[in-house]
Amino acid sequence: MEACATAHHWARAFHAAGHEVRPINPRFGKPCVRVSKNGAVDAGSPHKIVPEAWCSFAAVITAISATAGSGQADTPVRPGAMVILGPFTDAVYPTQIDAAPVLGLAGEQRGFYGGNRWRPAWSAYRHPRGGGNAHGGVDIYAPRGTRIVAMVDGDVTQISAADNNGMGNRVHLAFSAFGVRYKFVVGHLDRFEGGPMTVAKGTVIGYAGCTGNAASGQPCLAPNSCGTYSTHIHLQLHRIADNRLLDPLRALGWTLRYHDNTRDVPCSSVVG
């Protein structure tokens, strides 16, 4: 939004609606224009969340969402230079059903579940779970022992599965974005790398495993009837001040293969 009279008006309107309004350094963004700089031509409605095809951005820093309870409005969207492209040491991520990786994606949303089912939608952030609960993070497929790296620069702490938390061995990766403290939580790790430390993005912080509830009725330690596994990392994002859950993929700018796959079918339908 341009720093003009309408910007002040909409800033006040957003603030009145309960959103925090902050100025953004112009080096992070580019004006949203359709053709040349002409108010009558390029003035777009400021409530739009997703840019139209004519709208080009150098980097998106924050967005406003009308989706109540989703955490979207509070999710910090990091400029690309500040994050790693995926949770693995290589851009060629591990695949589940013998398909070649799609370059540019961060990995694959876990698809295999107990009962010999393929249901990747269950691994998505906020997907409904039993008892009226929603999935608090996203499950990313990774064979046991896969090296997992820090997504951003931050401070690592390690929490053992001995506390009986469902996420098992997990790393907390704390970082700051726009003056606010957040932490990624990476769960179900087999083991840690090193000890508590300050790390740069891309540093190995642990290895994928089956700790916590990852192996409870799931083909994690042993394969299902199709010979495939459900091994994965569980990735969460919290705002530290109030422990609010946010969308980790949105914050990182990642897209996972099968994120839009809504099939719930026997594993034999997708294997072989």
pTM given for the model: 0.74
**Domain's final residue, options 10, 33, 64:** 64
Whether 165 and 260 share a structural domain: yes
For residue 134, give the DSSP letter: B
The two beta strands, 244-246 and 204-208, are unpaired
In whole angstroms, how far apart are CA 233 and each of 25, 26, 178, 206, 266? 35, 36, 27, 10, 23
Strands (E), 87-152: 107-108, 112-113, 117-118, 138-141, 147-149
| 250 exposure class (CB count in 10 Å sphere: 0-12, 13-18, 19+) | buried
Enumerate helices (H) and strands (E) in the chain, giving the number of each.
3, 14
Is 56 among the domain residues?
yes
pLDDT at 101: 93
Ordered per-residue pLDDT tens for the chain, 272 residues: 455 556 666 666 665 555 656 666 554 444 555 445 455 545 444 443 334 433 332 233 233 232 334 555 577 776 566 788 999 999 899 999 988 999 889 999 999 999 999 999 999 999 998 788 899 999 999 999 999 999 999 999 999 999 999 999 999 999 998 889 999 999 999 999 999 999 999 999 999 999 999 999 999 999 999 999 999 999 999 999 999 999 999 999 999 999 999 999 999 999 97
**What is the per-residue pLDDT for 25?**
52
Q: How far apart are CA 253 and CA 142, in angstroms?
A: 19
Q: Could you say which DSSP state residue 112 is in?
A: E
How far is the C-alpha of 214 from the C-alpha of 216, rounded, in Å?
Answer: 6
Decide: 219 and 114 in contact? Cβ < 8 Å: yes
Nearest to 271 by CA among 239, 215, 217, 230: 230
Supply the pLDDT for residue 3.
Answer: 55
Q: What range does the domain containing 2 cover?
A: 1-64
Half-sphere exposure of 157 (CA within 13 A, CB side): 7
DSSP alpha helix (H) spans, 137-270:
248-252
104 lies in some domain: yes
How far is it, in rounded angstroms, from Cα 223 to Cα 252?
Answer: 31
Is 42 in the same domain as 115?
no
Indicate if 21 and 111 belong to the same structural domain: no
Assigned domain for 97 exists:
yes
β strands within 1-135, DSSP E? 107-108, 112-113, 117-118
Whose structure tokens read 């963004």? 29
Total domains in the chain come to 2
User: Given strand 112-113, what is the order of strands in its sheet?
Assistant: 112-113, 117-118, 265-266
Are residues 85 and 107 in contact, defined by beta-carbon separation less than 8 angstroms? no
201 part of a folded domain: yes
In a domain, 58, yes or no: yes
Does residue 74 lie in a domain region?
A: no
Return the number of other C-beta atoms located less than 10 Å from residue 204's C-beta: 15
Q: Based on the fold, state whether residues 30 and 111 are members of the same structural domain.
A: no
